Amino acid sequence: MAQSKEMTSGPSLPLILNFTFPLLLGNLLQQTYSLVDAAIVGKFLGINALASVGASTSVVFLILGFCNGCCGGFGIPVAQKFGARDYVTMRRYVSVSLKLAAVMSVAVAIVTSLLCGFILRSMRTPENIFEGAYLYLLITFIGVPCTFFYNLLSSIIRALGDSKTPFWFLLFSTILNIVLDLFCILTLGWGVAGAAIATVFSQGLSALLCYIYMYRKFDILKTEPADRRFRSDLARQLLYIGVPMGLQFSITAIGSIMLQSANNALGTACVAAFTAAMRIKMFVMCPLDSLGMAMATYSGQNYGAGKPDRIWMGIKSATLMMTVYVIAIGALMWGLAEKFALLFISPDETEIIDDTALFLHINTSFFFLLGMLSILRYTIQGAGYTRLAMFSGVSEMVARVLVSLIAVPLWGFWGVCFGDPTAWLFANLFLIPAFIYVYRRLQRIVVKEGRVVANS
CB 195 within 8 A of CB 53: yes
Q: In whole angstroms, what is the distance from residue 164 CA to residue 154 CA?
A: 10
Q: Is the pLDDT of residue 351 over 90?
A: no
Q: In whole angstroms, what is the distance from residue 289 CA to residue 156 CA?
A: 17
List the end-to-end C-alpha distance of the chain, in Å, as a whole number: 39
Average pLDDT on 357-380 reads: 92
pLDDT at 397: 86
Q: In whole angstroms, what is the distance from residue 362 CA to residue 357 CA?
A: 9
How many degrees, rounded to 5, is the angle at CA 145 between CA 107 and CA 37?
125
- Longest distance between any two alpha carbons in the chain, whole Å: 69
- Which residues does 177 contact at the CB level (< 8 Å), separation at least 6? 32, 33, 36, 198, 199, 201, 202
- Which of the 8 DSSP states describes residue 446? E
> Which range among 236-250, 282-296, 318-332 shows the weakest confidence by mean pLDDT?
236-250
Q: In whole angstroms, what is the distance from residue 74 CA to residue 72 CA?
A: 5
pLDDT digits (tens, 9 = 90+) for 320-331: 999 999 999 999
3-class state of residue 453 by DSSP: strand
**DSSP string for 138-177:** HHHHHTHHHHHHHHHHHHHHHHTT--SHHHHHHHHHHHHH
**Residue 444 buriedness (CB in 10 A; 0-12 / 13-18 / 19+):** exposed
pLDDT digits (tens, 9 = 90+) for 410-440: 888 898 899 999 999 999 999 999 999 988 8
Give me the residues paired with residue 251 across strands.
none
